Amino acid sequence: CCVFFSNSSILVSLYCCGVSVCISSWFLFILTDVISPIPDSYSPQYVEAAWYPWWEKQGFFKPEYGVSEQNSRGIFMMCIPPPNVTGSLHLGHALTNAIQDCLTRWHRMRGETTLWNPGCDHAGIATQVVVEKKLMRERGMSRHDLGRENFIQEVWKWKNEKGDRIYHQLKKLGSSLDWDRACFTMDPKLSYAVQEAFIRMHDEGVIYRSKRLVNWSCTLNSAISDIEVDKKELTGRTLLPVPGYKEKVEFGVLVSFSYKIDGSDEEVIVATTRIETMLGDTAVAVHPDDPRYQHLKGKMVLHPFCDRKMPIVFDNFVDMSFGTGAVKITPAHDHNDYEVGERHNLAFINILDENGLLINGMKRFEARKAVLQALKERGQFKEIKDNPMVVPVCSRSKDIVEPLLKPQWYVNCTDMGKQAADAVREGRLKIIPDHHLKTWFNWMDNIRDWCISRQLWWGHRIPAYFITINDPSDVDGHYWVSGRSAEEAKEKAAKRFNVSADKITLRQDEDVLDTWFSSGIFPFSIFGWPNENQDLNVFYPGTLLETGHDILFFWVARMVMMGLKLTGKLPFKEVYLHAVVRDAHGRKMSKSLGNVIDPLDVITGISLEGLHAQLMDSNLDPLEVEKAKQGQKSDYPNGIPECGTDALRFALCAYTSQGRDINLDVNRILGYRHFCNKLWNAVKFAMKTLGDNFIPSEKAQSVSDRWILSRLSAAVGLCNAGFRAYDFPGITTAIYNFWLYELCDVYLVRKRETTEQQTLYTCLEVGLRLLSPLMPFVTEELYQRLPRRQPQCDPPSICVTPYPDVEEVDCEMEFVMTVVKTIRSLRADYNLTKTRADCKLTHKLIYFTSYWL
């Protein structure tokens, strides 16, 4: 180990075994006043080591910083789409973050009161699964062995250990979040809001309870949401692994068997891909016009394994041309059959418990074999053949999803969905880019009620109580009331049913709410809704919601609906949806492809071995690890070079055209690290040119300077327009071109004596401020070394200087453009388009290169 001390403004680092640790940040504040010579070469590690804690300590990221009545130019408020507390950020999040931070910094520099609010969500299923696995691995215990309360404590312990990783990553990315306002969806303040939201919506009847088919994971013992159902396509017979089964289970086959008609020798043949469900059959359906079955009207069929007589129903939904035209109906275990069951008033017979076991304790896929065997023995089995099909798989547990009939809580989305669609139709809510509008309307106009019950332990327990009234005159006696506490629920029930409270017994629902329920109210729960307070008044509704287009519905739509419902206001005015990041080959990021990259690895660099080692910590199976290793080897044969945060952010913004997906190539990020080198060297060179005794003052311009100032002004115009239109490549291109092709290639290479110092200073100072939202670290480092126009009242940090404005860069654009146009036509006239031409203009010599002519 060695202690490395530099007298520069910021670097006090302890280099230890390749790890650099920043020490004693109070010490740095003393040092920040020290102007030291600019180091010889650009090093992201050096530049990015210590500014962040200083920014944070100084409170630059707080909306309260520097606010006074004269200078506030409106409010910019945005909340982070809360990442999942169990997770860690990958490059997709880094993109979200680069965009959000540069927007936030731009608004802040424009003098707006700016708040970017951080937070995390508790990711119910994901977190519970992770902790359950850990518990099983380390102690051989299930959550049931531990009990609900102890298990929840275990999750909290784990959250407190791991939950900081994301915040650490966000800080390393330079995110200008107000950390004092960080919120976790299970904080008391936010939990209170969740409870209140549920109670209000339940009292209003928007939340109701209903028994319907849900997508059930027998492994998780919980209903799962639509997005957690993966559709596995099979082309024919396939053996799939299923959790809890030693042998693989057969899917993708269609089994035909017959039902005997009651009181006749005749039989009807039906077919199914899930033969075990025939145990729950309660009818056979045929098409009303099918000539083959007209004589069976009013007849019954017999169940071979019990004395169940089942009607033959006539229903239009049956496809006459498929198979025999007769289908078995299992209302309690199939989505289509459920509806047939409702229409024809059929019995709903449930054959599975929550663990996927039959009444006799047999596992459901063992029953698949047993039923087949029993049918064969009775001579009712007909044939078995390949059948291409889609198998629903739970993305969390990899179990096969079973539709199960369960009473659950639902949110009636009819009215809320309509309001959310209207808000966009009437232009009150803007969705950018507008090619997402179609999806928005399509979803809102066909919205289905939202199942919010989850049979988990980790999450917000549903504040609803099942009451029993000990009153002999009460015939029904089973009701649900919601309440902030058991006492409140009791009183509510007593009032509603006009009995005394002591006659009522309560049992709170065991379930918790879907995580999206709490994320849906995040834009106002973070400000303490429903309690009136200043933050809620000032910062709600927010300005913008920014996120990847893939979660438009699951989250954005819900925030809009819940915001309108509970606060009567849209939670934000604009939604900007950026593209999804894919790898350089255009593939989705996935752990098993080895292309999920931690942004910190791009920032600091990592060897191929280092990447491999990370796979060992993941929960991939050995085969997948091998595959992922191969992927890493072919994509990063030499690992990933150190690129630094600034280059990473700049590259991500440069990629973000408003198309759908981004194919990210790490080499391009490296390219922007070279840009940082150039920037560094240019400023170093320019500062030498300015000399030690240079004092910036009001500008004096020569004609040549008008040119560079006009280029600067154009860049400023493009950047502001780019930020307004969410055109990030427009911004990066303007800045890149100005610094590289105009300032470095043209202006700085001119003879030293022709350089007007004040103009050069303006270019550096304005150019750095222009770039600051995208590259906050290197611009701060360089800005701190520039002499100041008004040292006493200049802002202490570049992140709180005003963003450049076209007016500020006083230029005579038209004059310069006339000169350029004249010279261009002269060159054309004299056939000089291929050569570099010196032009004499009044008394001054200017070099024009063909680049900008």
Ligand X SMILES: *[C@@H]1O[C@H](CO)[C@@H](O)[C@H](O)[C@H]1NC(C)=O
Q: Which residues bind ligand X (CB under 6 A)?
A: 84, 86-87, 123, 126, 208, 213-215, 226, 229, 392, 412, 414-415, 451, 498, 831
Cα 658 from Cα 579, distance rounded (Å): 7
CB 515 within 8 A of CB 459: yes
Location of structure tokens 């059929």:
346
Encode 243-272: b = buried (16+ Cβ within 10 Å), e = exposed.
eeeeeebebbbbbbbbbbbeeeeeebbbbb
CB 542 within 8 A of CB 77: yes
Q: What is the DSSP code (8-state) at residue 798?
A: G
Cα 250 from Cα 628, distance rounded (Å): 28
The amino acid occupying position 339 is: E
For residue 338, the minimal CB distance to ligand X (Å) is: 9
Which C-beta is closer to ligand X: that of 250 or that of 471? 471
Q: What is the DSSP code (8-state) at residue 742?
A: I
Q: What are the structure tokens assigned to 146, written together? A: 């531990």
Give the count of beta carbons closer than 10 Å to the beta carbon of residue 239.
11
CB 522 within 8 A of CB 56: no
Q: Is the dihedral of CA 300, 302, 303, 308 positive or negative?
A: positive
Cα 432 from Cα 44, distance rounded (Å): 34
3-state helix, strand, coil in the chain (%, to 5): 45, 20, 35
Which C-beta is closer to ligand X: that of 700 or that of 826? 826
Encode 603-640: b = buried (16+ Cβ within 10 Å), e = exposed.
bbbbebeebbebbeeeebeeebbeebbebbeebbeebb
Residue 85: closest CA among 168, 180, 173, 189: 168
Which C-beta is closer to ligand X: that of 392 or that of 541? 392
Which C-beta is closer to ligand X: that of 415 or that of 510? 415
Spatial neighbors of 411 by CB under 8 A, at least 6 apart, are: 201, 206, 207, 449, 450, 452
Spatial neighbors of 272 by CB under 8 A, at least 6 apart, are: 254, 255, 278, 328
CB 318 within 8 A of CB 286: yes
Cα 223 from Cα 613, distance rounded (Å): 35
- 3-state per-residue secondary structure call for 239-262: EECCCCCCCCEEECEEEEEEEEEC
CB 315 within 8 A of CB 344: yes
Which C-beta is closer to ligand X: that of 86 or that of 772? 86
465 by DSSP, 3-state: which? strand
Spatial neighbors of 654 by CB under 8 A, at least 6 apart, are: 668, 672, 728, 729, 732, 733, 736
The amino acid occupying position 517 is: F
Residue 800: closest CA among 783, 817, 823, 778: 783
For residue 152, the minimal CB distance to ligand X (Å) is: 18
Cα 40 from Cα 773, distance rounded (Å): 24
Spatial neighbors of 632 by CB under 8 A, at least 6 apart, are: 594, 595, 608, 611, 612, 615
Which C-beta is closer to ligand X: that of 307 or that of 502? 502
CB 540 within 8 A of CB 567: yes
What kind and span of H or E run contains 93?
helix 91-109
Q: What is the DSSP code (8-state) at residue 775?
A: S
Which C-beta is closer to ligand X: that of 296 or that of 447? 447
Cα 758 from Cα 698, distance rounded (Å): 7
For residue 615, the minimal CB distance to ligand X (Å) is: 14
Both ends of the chain: CA-CA distance in Å? 56
232 by DSSP, 3-state: which? strand
For helices 776-783 and 757-771, angle between their N-to-C axes, nearest 10 degrees: 150
- Residue 506 sits at φ, ψ, to 5 deg, of -125, 150
For residue 215, the minimal CB distance to ligand X (Å) is: 4
Give the count of beta carbons closer than 10 Å to the beta carbon of residue 678.
16
For residue 130, the minimal CB distance to ligand X (Å) is: 6
Q: H helices then E strands: how many in the chain?
A: 28, 34
